[in-house]
Structure 1
Amino acid sequence: MQSTPLAPADGLAVQANAEPVTRRAGAIAIAAAGIAFLLYPAIRPYGDETTLAGARGMASASWIAAHLSAIAGFILLAFGVQALYGVLRPTPAGKLAARALVATWLGTGLTLTYYGVEVFGAHVIAQHALDSHDAGALDMINDFRFNPAAVTLFAVGLLLLAAGTILAATAIWRSALLARWSGIPLAAAFTLFIPQFFATPGLRILHGALTLAACLYLARTLWRNKP
């Protein structure tokens, strides 16, 4: 039995019914991403990672939980931007939102290749250093952290994420569908993502809190869908 194609009016009705679901799913994903990005620096152990004291932090469950939170945050952000694209696609800013989506997904993929090694690789090496009482084994962590190919992919990934959020903020501004300023704090937070790695623990946690606030602002706007 052949299916009957939707008439134009029927297609618009389906899109109208699906659009609130897309908005709210995107809002939930972005809000959850913000929580994950705060948990990442808040529960991450800090210390001199060239010493056995620092190795205890990297060998702990908190190290794994913190980095898995970051991984979850990047994935949730990508889904949130995908939902945002679904909302903005019919507007004049649709093409710009599509570019934001592509940049965000590419950035997420490149970034997660590094985080996967960081969360599990550093953990295993730190545990080996503790078991052998050999702080010299921790040198291997920097060997893979600063491997030219690895650190380049990581930097490119985070730059693409910054570009994706900037493009998303610009698309929101031009669409006149959502509050114009709602994407700007998130773009600022991801522009600062690389510099925050070189900050003190307190500033890193502050950056996580700012990222959460930015995500909640955009999520609230997306949920309410009000300019």
Structure 2
Amino acid sequence: MSRNRLAAVALAVAGVLFLLYPALRPWADESTAAGALHAMGSPWWVATHLFAMIGFILVPLALFRVDKVAAVIMWIGAGLTLPYYGAEDFALNTLAGKVKDGQSLDLLDLSDSIRYHPAAVATFFVGLLLLGVGAVWAAVAVWRGGVLPKLSGLLFGAGFALFIPQFFTGEAVRIGHGVLMLAGCAWLAFALWRTPDPA
């Protein structure tokens, strides 16, 4: 299989994973103890956050076929983003499991301590910001490059640029953002699939 087609497969898989992340994530009012316990204690919490993490790994690898600068920016962004996702995924699920087992823990206080730790929030924000910058850089490279269809990077760039704002919305908008991520990755993947590798 050609390198462009391998990159296309990686992007397509990432797009599906970015859709499954919000679509299958357990939704509840996480500002309440019962809601947090329901969401964070679910095995789907772990699975769906893993989906996003795998997507963040696949996208920079695929972008080496589009633009190396964009790939490096997104690689750094993913590296800064993944520790936060790991803590939220595994630590919060473990804490919820302990609360379900009857251990006396204040799940809301502990989860806020993990989620809003200054270093965690800072690296998460910078990482997502770099992912957005890298995706927009890739979209501009596609537009200017003349190899892939000009518009094929547009939704891809928009999806990553909106990654931070979508966290401040509700379930429907976040699932809609997952659809945008799938559409952006799939469109760019389709363009790569149809483009032969350079000689």
The separation in 2 between residues aligned to 1:202 and 1:53, in whole angstroms, is 17
Unaligned runs of 5+ in 1: 1-19, 85-96
Structure 1 residue identity aligned to 2:62: G
Answer yes or no: is 1:37 the counterpart of 2:18.
yes
CA contact (8 A) 1:29 1:77 kept: yes
Structure 1 residue identity aligned to 2:24: I
Q: Given the alignment, which residue of 169, 185, 188 partners 2:158?
A: 188
CA contact (8 A) 2:36 2:107 kept: no
CA contact (8 A) 2:33 2:107 kept: no
The separation in 1 between residues aligned to 2:143 and 2:29, in whole angstroms, is 43
How far the C-alpha of 1:126 sits from its partner, in A, is 1.0
Matched residue, 2:136: 166
Unaligned runs of 5+ in 2: none
Matched residue, 1:116: 86
Say how many residue pairs are matched.
Answer: 195
Deviations 1:184-204 (A, max 9, x none): 111101111011111110111
- Identity rate, percent: 45
Matched residue, 1:64: 46
Q: Which runs of 4+ in 1 moved over 4 A?
A: none
Secondary structure of the corresponding residue to residue 106 of structure 2: helix
Secondary structure of the corresponding residue to residue 207 of structure 1: helix
TM-score, with length taken from structure 2:
0.93
The separation in 1 between residues aligned to 2:123 and 2:12, in whole angstroms, is 27
Matched residue, 1:150: 120
TM-score, with length taken from structure 1:
0.82
Secondary structure of the corresponding residue to residue 199 of structure 1: coil
How far the C-alpha of 1:76 sits from its partner, in A, is 1.0
Structure 2 residue identity aligned to 1:40: Y
Structure 2 residue identity aligned to 1:221: A
Matched residue, 2:65: 83
Question: Considering only aligned residues, what root-mean-square deviation do their CA atoms show, in Å?
Answer: 1.5
Answer yes or no: is 1:204 the counterpart of 2:164.
no
Structure with higher Rg: it is: 1
Deviations 1:25-60 (A, max 9, x none): 000000000000000001111112231343122111
CA contact (8 A) 2:19 2:175 kept: yes
Deviations 1:49-92 (A, max 9, x none): 231343122111111110010011111111111232xxxxxxxx
The separation in 2 between residues aligned to 1:43 and 1:31, in whole angstroms, is 18
State how 1:214-225 maps to structure 2 within 5 Å: 214-225=184-195
